[in-house]
Amino acid sequence: MNADTVNRELSIARKAIGWWQRRGWIVGDPTIGIERRPAPPDRTEALSENQIAALWRLNVGLREKTFWKLLHESAARAGEVLCLNVEDLHPQDKRGRITAKVGATEWIDWQSGTARLSYRRAEEIFQEKTRLLANPLASPEDIRGHGRLDASPATSQCPDARRGGRHLSPDAAGPVPPRLRPIPGAVRPPRRRLGRPARRRTRPRCTSPHVN
């Protein structure tokens, strides 16, 4: 097993053992003395601007292209984007409400590229059953009914660190996403904690006094 898998399982075991100890079910901790393994640095290179431009020219469905654009423009995780539903979107502000890995509700922002693709067909792209692809417990029979999305190499995996990042589509192959992270040196868009959506300021209407 790689270091990430060992560290994840060790963390899960320690949380469970601590819970059992607080309830008096066990006394000792069998994980004492087991150290976390140093994880190797991620050396995956981001796509160049020319490669990304070529990716946008591919003849793929609207849903795939929208998710690719959203991943690239927001720097969000694939699992977070796959969990988006239509009611989570705020098109007028170009942002969406997600649940982060730690369970906190945050906002991701996108740019005009995603906006042009998703405004007209948001219901189709971000439909309720898309959430199955982000559920590691979903059965293959449930997932096969998703059409093109579950056959896309770029959206066939939901890397949820808490649950192991399983491949959810038996017919798909390839990593996720295809290195659609921002160019090195680019600043990742800041995330915002859940709050009331920002309202655009409007000029007060100039009303004339009522004349009898």
Higher pLDDT, 32 or 147: 32
Confidence at residue 20, expressed as pLDDT on a 0 to 100 scale: 93
Q: Which residue has the higher pLDDT, 175 or 41?
A: 41
Lowest mean pLDDT among 3-17, 54-68, 174-188: 174-188
- Identify which has the larger pLDDT, 91 or 72: 72
Band of the pLDDT at 198, cuts 50, 70, 90? Answer: very low
pLDDT of residue 25 exceeding 90: yes
> Residue 34 has what pLDDT?
92
Mean pLDDT taken over the chain? 65
Task: Please state whether 198 falls in left (phi above 0), alpha (psi between -120 and 50) or beta.
Answer: beta
Which has more pLDDT, 24 or 135? Answer: 24
Q: In this predicted structure, what is the pLDDT of residue 30?
A: 92
147-190 tens-digit pLDDT: 333 333 333 333 333 333 333 233 333 334 444 444 444 444 44
Task: Annotate 166-212 with three-state secondary structure.
Answer: CECCCCCCCCCCCCCCCCCCCCCCCCEECCCCCCCCCCCCCCCCCCC
Q: What is the pLDDT of residues 87-106, one digit of tens each?
A: 777 767 777 887 776 677 88
- CA–CA distance, 17 with 14 (Å, rounded to integer): 5
Instruction: Please determine, for residue 10, whether its predicted confidence score (pLDDT) is greater than 80.
Output: yes
Strand order in the sheet with 192-193: 89-90, 95-99, 105-109, 192-193
Residue 21 has a pLDDT of: 92
Please, how many CA atoms are within 13 Å of residue 20, restricted to the half-sphere of its CB?
Answer: 12
User: Most confidently modeled of 67-71, 111-115, 144-148, 165-169?
Assistant: 67-71
Q: What is the pLDDT of residue 76?
A: 79
